[in-house]
Amino acid sequence: MAQSPARLSRSGSPVSVSFEFFPPKTEEMEKTLWEAIARLAPLEPSFVSVTYGAGGSTRERTHATVERLVRETALRPAAHLTCVGASRAELGAVIRGYGAAGVRHIVALRGDPPGGLEAPYFAPPGGYQSTADLVGAIKASGDFEVSVSAYPEKHPQSPTPLHDIETLRRKIDAGADRAITQFFFDNAVYFRFLDLAAAAGIDIPIVPGIAPVQNFKQTANFARKAGASVPAWLAERFEGLEDDPATRRLVAAAVCAEQVIDLVDRGVTHLHFYTMNRADLVFAICHLIGLRTRDEIAKRAAERAAGAETG
């Protein structure tokens, strides 16, 4: 792929983005997914990730989506992989399959216990006990870039924030190249987490995960399950808009734009968007932080040149 055009943050530092999608269940959902990919691809993200359902429930659909991304686009796909519901041999076959398909980036996750987040996690028969174990296996299988998760507000099953830092350290020691955070709405929790990580000597990139609020009630429910807080001010922004989707979209764009502009102004240079397979809100926010497509850049250059000729 050709080199991306220069992108600068509001502070003058380069900004890059990545996008997360999930594999579609139906023909209609597949159409929506590929419309979103087509809309966001011209922003030339660093990579796009494709999720992997609980217990490997979307394994075939994830693999099919990733293979199509490799085959039909210039995007760099990152395939999710979890420890849940598969033996080491089965996961080894999946890793080799990704490699054969041209995938060189895997997002390694432990995955939620089959009984839900309240249940203890046990390795499946012949499987991996931890993300660090999976990271090590991926790195031993070939030349893969590996991203892992991080939790600014503590994983729901973690006893303390420092335990989360220790867990992240083990993933890094196993070979993780980057951490992507669970989404959050209060930037202070992200920067506190960065401070804890720095104090522990962690120096890999910790990319903030951003969730534009497509549906507030749905997002709030998911946040509670994931251990992410929903500030009272955020609930107030969406209060009374249940039956007003047009205003809700405007509020969602404003809320997310405030968050990402603050992150960029404070030195963050990479943002990972959980798109929910919807493009318009994410594209608008990327525009607000200064990202432009090649066509937009070329058009502005042509307009400036035309203005100089007539001036």
Residue range 5-34, pLDDT digits in tens: 444 555 566 789 999 999 999 999 999 999
249-300 pLDDT tens trace: 999 999 999 999 999 999 999 999 999 999 999 999 999 888 888 887 777 7
Identify the pLDDT of residue 95. 96
pLDDT at 295: 80
Residue 214 or 193, more confident: 193
For range 28-54, the mean pLDDT = 94
20 is catalytic: yes
In the prediction, which pLDDT does 2 show? Answer: 38
Query: Does CATH number 3.30.830.10 belong to domain 16-310?
Result: no
CA distance 259 to 33: 25
Instruction: Render the burial of 173-212: b for 16+ CB within 10 Å, e for the rest.
Output: ebbbebbbbbbbbbbebbbebbebbeeeebebebbbbbbb
Mean pLDDT over residues 205-213, rounded? 97
User: What value does the mean pLDDT of the chain take?
Assistant: 90
What is the token pair recorded at 27? 């023909």
Is the full-model pTM beyond 0.75? Answer: yes
Q: Which residues contact 165 (CB under 8 A, 6 or more apart)?
A: 196, 197, 200, 202
User: What residues does each domain of the chain span?
Assistant: 16-310
| Interatomic CA distance for residues 284 and 280, integer angstroms | 6
* Structure confidence at residue 131 (pLDDT): 97
- 20, 44, 145, 153: the catalytic one is 20
